[in-house]
Amino acid sequence: MDIDQLRREYLHGGLHRKNLRDNPIDQFEHWLQQAVDAKLPDPTAMNLATVSADGQPSQRIVLLKKLDQQGFVFFTNLGSTKAQQISENNHVSLHFAWLELDRQVIISGEAERISTAETLGYFLSRPKESQLAAWASRQSHPISSRVLLEQKFAEIKHKFSKGEVPLPSFWGGYRVTPKSMEFWQGGAYRLHDRFLYSQQTASQTESSNKQGASTEKTQWQLERLAP
Ligand SMILES: Cc1cc2nc3c(=O)[nH]c(=O)nc-3n(C[C@H](O)[C@H](O)[C@H](O)COP(=O)(O)O)c2cc1C
C-alpha cells in the first residue's frame, strides 16, 4: 500500500477571526454542537495526554461528560495509569479530532479531581451495567484472562442485584481547566487556519474591597498561528 499517496484536500472552508467567540469555551461549545449536528461518531471523544514523573508521555481516549466555564470533565478509575500520572503531574493535554469537519482542537491545562458529590451525580445517571463494570475492573492492571473479568462482573451483579449500585471509592472525575486552546481548521493547499487562545491572568485589586484583596480575572489572548 502506498500510504504516501493517501491524501485529500481540506475543503470545509476557512476560519476567520471575526467569527471566533471571545471566550474559547464558548467557541468550543459552538464547534461541539456542529460536530453533534453533523452526526460524527463519538463527538465527545477526546485524547487525554498525561506525562509520568520521569517525563514519559502517554495518551488514551476518554469521553467528555461535562463542560462549563471551569473546564472539561471526564470520569475514570482512580487506580488507572492516567490517574497515577495525574497525581504525579497534573499538567495534561486534551485533543479533539473532528476529521470529517477538517477540525481539531488542542487544549493544555491542569487536571483536578472533582468532588464526590459531583461524581455521584454523574455515576447515578449511568446505565446500571456501566456502574457494575466500574466495580468489576481494576483498570490498567494485568489480568490473566477475560473469563476472570466476566466472573467478577457476574459476582458484582449478584452483590448489587437489589437497590442502587454504590459509587466505588476508586472511581471519580477530573476537571481539566484550560490554559490554552487551539482551534484548527484545515484549508485548501495545506494553508490551514489556526487560532490560539492563551490565558492571561490579570491580578486585579477591587477598589470596592477595603482590605485591598486581589481577585483573579481570566482574560484570553487570541492569535493566529502559521499552519
Ligand atoms: C471511544 C472510547 C471512549 C473511552 N472512554 C473512556 C472514559 O470515559 N473513561 C475511561 O477511563 N476510559 C475510557 N476509554 C478507555 C481508555 O481509552 C483507556 O483504555 C483506559 O481509560 C485505560 O487508560 P490508562 O491505562 O492509560 O489509564 C475509552 C476508550 C475509547 C476508545
For a pocket test of ligand 1, which of 48, 52, 60, 88 has the largest count of ligand atoms closer than 8 A to its C-beta? 60
Three cell numbers, residue 173: 472525575
Q: Are residues 9 and 76 in the same domain?
A: yes
Q: Are residues 64 and 91 in the same domain?
A: yes
Q: Are residues 44 and 101 in the same domain?
A: yes
21 catalytically annotated:
no
Task: Decide: 132 and 160 in contact? Cβ < 8 Å.
Answer: yes
Question: Following DSSP, what letter does each residue of the chain receive, concatenated?
Answer: --GGG------S----GGGS-SSHHHHHHHHHHHHHHTT-SSTTEEEEEEE-TTS-EEEEEEE--EEETTEEEEEEETTSHHHHHHHH--EEEEEEEEGGGTEEEEEEEEEEEPPHHHHHHHHTTS-HHHHHHHHH--TTS--S-HHHHHHHHHHHHHHT-SSPPPPPTTEEEEEEEEEEEEEEE--GGG--EEEEEEEEEEEEE-TT-TT--EEEEEEEEEEEE--
Atom of ligand 1 nearest to the CA of 80: 27
The number of distinct structural domains making up the chain is 2
Distances (CA, A) of 113 to 33, 83, 86, 167: 26, 10, 10, 15
Atom of ligand 1 nearest to the CA of 59: 26
Q: Are residues 8 and 117 in the same domain?
A: yes
Residue 103 to residue 34: CA distance in whole angstroms: 11
Q: Are residues 52 and 138 in the same domain?
A: no
- pTM, 2 dp: 0.93
Q: Are residues 77 and 8 in the same domain?
A: yes
Pick the residue whose CA is nearest to atom 6 on ligand 1: 62
Residue 52 to residue 15: CA distance in whole angstroms: 35
Q: Are residues 83 and 183 in the same domain?
A: yes
Ligand 1 center from residue 79 Cα (angstroms): 13
Residue 97 CB less than 6 A away from ligand 1: no
Residue 111 to residue 92: CA distance in whole angstroms: 7
Structural domain containing residue 148: 127-166
Pick the residue whose CA is nearest to atom 14 on ligand 1: 62
Q: Are residues 14 and 56 in the same domain?
A: yes
The pLDDT assigned to 15 comes to 96
Three cell numbers, residue 143: 489480568
The pLDDT assigned to 201 comes to 75
Choose the catalytic residue: 17, 138, 190, 224: 190
Ligand 1 center from residue 192 Cα (angstroms): 30
Q: Are residues 220 and 203 in the same domain?
A: yes
Residue 206 CB less than 6 A away from ligand 1: no
Residue 86 CB less than 6 A away from ligand 1: no
Q: Are residues 110 and 149 in the same domain?
A: no
Task: Decide: 97 and 104 in contact? Cβ < 8 Å.
Answer: yes
Over its length of 227 residues, how does the chain's per-residue pLDDT go in tens digits?
999 999 999 999 899 999 999 999 999 999 999 999 999 999 999 999 999 999 999 999 999 999 999 999 999 999 999 999 999 999 999 999 999 999 999 999 999 999 999 999 999 999 999 999 999 999 999 999 999 999 999 999 999 999 999 999 999 999 999 999 999 999 999 999 999 999 997 665 455 455 555 556 779 999 999 99
CATH code at position 23 = 2.30.110.10
Atom of ligand 1 nearest to the CA of 65: 8
Task: Decide: 162 and 196 in contact? Cβ < 8 Å.
Answer: no
Q: Are residues 85 and 183 in the same domain?
A: yes
Indicate the angle between helix axes 128-136 and 146-159, nearest 10 degrees. 120
Q: Are residues 162 and 203 in the same domain?
A: no
